[in-house]
Amino acid sequence: MKTLCRLLAVVALLILPPLPVAAQNAAPEKVYNAERFTLKNGMEVVVIPNHRAPVVTHMLWYKVGAADEPRGLSGMAHYLEHLLFKGTPTLPPGEYSRRIRALGGDDNAFTANDYTAFFESIAVEHLETVMKMQADRMMNTSPPPADFTAEQKVVLEERRQRTENDPKGFFAEQLKALLFINHPYGIPVIGWEHEVAALAWPEIESFYKRHYGPNNAILVVSGDITAAQLKPLAERYYGPLKPIALPGRVWTKVPPMIALPQLTLHHPDIRQPLFMRIYRAPSLPQSRAEGRALSLLTEILNGSAATRLYKSIVVEKKLATSVGFDYDGIKISDGAIWISASPADGVSLETLEAAIDEELRKLIRDGVTDQELAEAKIRMQDSAAFARDSLSGPAMTVGQVLAVGLTLDDAEYWPRDIESVTRDQVQAAAKTYLDPDDIGQRPYISGYLLPEKTAAASAEPAIANTPEQP
């Protein structure tokens, strides 16, 4: 079955590009060979040529997301994204997607904490039609009341399907809310149910007028086109749009905290216990050096079934059936590191957590080896060729990088930048952000998801490996 439409991007993984292992003294090779220009009204445009087929992906990124929502109006950015499909004075509701489909194109959109993006993949000869309609809905969206109300129900159904239907989704939402106290990333992108249900068009419209304009947008087009070909089209359709007065973005911060929170949920539907932990860590825009070190650390710990965490926790110690470690650094404000693991039968979450902590202590104490570092760099650099093997993947990566305030060079020269990371930097990043014994007023949250507390469900004994009670 196809992916449900109007995606909600909570976190999009960056495809880490990388260069073919080039001679050290050669000029660094670019990953995408993108071209760029800026329109007079301030709209940024990036073109990533790829002439393998006569098709393009057109992505329009707005530098507004859930993090910009006024207090009490959560879910507004995402609901607005849905409403951009609900018509303008010259385009009836639903007509946008209908026309794209009739031209043989696919379209969709997604909202994240920091940005909102709309995209179409289509034959290059229809690009102009796409741009004309996108320019219209950037400024003129006005959903009829009946469509506004119907779409509100759709968004609430989306929330039920993603969150309320499954305790794992519900639990993760709560975990994040606790980590990002007093920070907009603690509020789910889809919004709290009671707030989404109360949203009205006038307040959404004022949010729309404040944030949607050419000088708050980045256009990324990848595929069978060059900057020279795109520029006249961009000037014709996006050029006449008037820039808006940008409000600036406000970031409240997580205050220093001293206690380590732990969240536990016993739920009747849970049959497989799950351990999760989230740390706050610097994003790449906040600290490129630390962000790169954390990206490399992620590859070293979790790059394959032959790297540290899986090898130690799953293969050797047999405490878990799976383990995950992910760094989300493509954010404007704080990044995050997620660890998760499913315990093996009869292993308590306490035992599993202790073993993961032991791995982290070892990492902080001894660092990584030269060999681990070199192998991880090669894997990341090899993925450059794979990153190019896609029409829309490069537009996604470059758009995301620019939308959070990184530069085009950060995307183009990522392999060179990764090459420069040292063992000491990796160890220091681990010590600063992952140390289970020194939280430095920067607490992480551990979550235990467990079956209902009954005599029968004593598969998670308080003491590790206690046999199950009859």
Partner 1 sequence: MTSPILTLPFIALLLLPSAASAGETLTAPAKPFLAIEEVKSPGGLTAWLVEDHTLPIVSLTFLFNDAGSARDPRDRQGLARMVSNTLDEGAGDLDSQAFQKALSDHSISLSFSASRDDLAGSLKTLTRHQDKAFDLLRLALTQPRFDAEAIERMRAANISRIRSSMTEPEWIAARLLNDLSYGDHPYALNSGGTITSLNAITRDDLAGFVKNNLSRDRLLIGVTGDITPGKLAITLDQVFSTLPAASTAQTLTDAGIGHLGQTYLYKKDIPQSIIQMVQPGLDFKDPDYYAAYVMNHILGASGFGSRLTEEIREKRGLTYGIYSSIFDMDHAHGFTIGLSTENKNAAEALRLIRAEIRKMQDHPVSAQELADAQSYIVGALPLSFSSTAAISANVLGLRQDNWPMDYYDHFPSRIRAVTAADIQRVAKRILTPDNMLTVIVGQPEGVDAETLPPALPNVE
Beta-carbon count within 10 A of 8 CB: 20
Residues between 408 and 467 with contacts to partner 1, criterion CB under 8 A = none
Residues between 275 and 304 with contacts to partner 1, criterion CB under 8 A = 276, 302-304
In angstroms, what CA-CA distances link 189 with 3, 66, 78, 337, 452?
A: 19, 5, 7, 18, 29
* Segment near partner 1 (CB under 8 A); pick from 238-246, 349-357, 381-389, 434-442: 381-389
Nearer to partner 1 (CB atom), residue 235 or residue 382: 382
Per-residue binding letters, 254-273, with partner 1 (x by CB under 8 A): -------------x-xxxx-
Q: Which residues contact 302 (CB under 8 A, 6 or more apart)?
A: 308, 309, 310, 323, 324, 325, 326
Q: Does 116 bind partner 1 (CB under 8 A)?
A: no
Q: Does 370 bind partner 1 (CB under 8 A)?
A: no
At residue 265, the 3 state secondary structure works out as: strand
Nearer to partner 1 (CB atom), residue 213 or residue 383: 383
Q: Does 385 bind partner 1 (CB under 8 A)?
A: yes
Beta-carbon count within 10 A of 407 CB: 12
Q: How far is the CB of 82 from partner 1 (least distance, A)?
A: 10
* Segment near partner 1 (CB under 8 A); pick from 144-152, 238-246, 280-288, 402-410: 144-152
* Segment near partner 1 (CB under 8 A); pick from 239-247, 257-265, 324-332, 416-424: 324-332
Per-residue binding letters, 44-83, with partner 1 (x by CB under 8 A): ------x-xxxx-x--------------------------
Tracing tokens 């969150």 back to the chain, one arrives at 163
Nearer to partner 1 (CB atom), residue 7 or residue 227: 7
d(CA 127, CA 125): 6
CA 276 to the chain's CA centroid? 18
Q: How far is the CB of 204 from partner 1 (least distance, A)?
A: 16
Q: Are 199 and 152 in contact (CB under 8 A)?
A: yes
Per-residue binding letters, 145-164, with partner 1 (x by CB under 8 A): --x-xxxxxxxxxx-xx--x
Q: Does 346 bind partner 1 (CB under 8 A)?
A: no
Residue 309 half-sphere exposure toward CB, CA atoms < 13 A: 25
Q: Does 141 bind partner 1 (CB under 8 A)?
A: no
Q: How far is the CB of 103 from partner 1 (least distance, A)?
A: 6
At residue 121, the 3 state secondary structure works out as: strand
d(CA 217, CA 135): 11
* Segment near partner 1 (CB under 8 A); pick from 210-218, 357-365, 373-381, 403-411: 373-381
Q: Does 393 bind partner 1 (CB under 8 A)?
A: yes
Tracing tokens 């070892």 back to the chain, one arrives at 362
In angstroms, what CA-CA distances link 351 with 64, 206, 324, 358, 444?
A: 42, 51, 17, 11, 18
Which candidate, 140, 114, 7, places its Cα nearest to that of 62? 114
Q: Does 468 bind partner 1 (CB under 8 A)?
A: no
Catalytic residues: 81
Among 34, 76, 127, 172, binds partner 1 (CB under 8 A): 172
Nearer to partner 1 (CB atom), residue 122 or residue 241: 122
Nearer to partner 1 (CB atom), residue 357 or residue 382: 382
d(CA 303, CA 254): 30
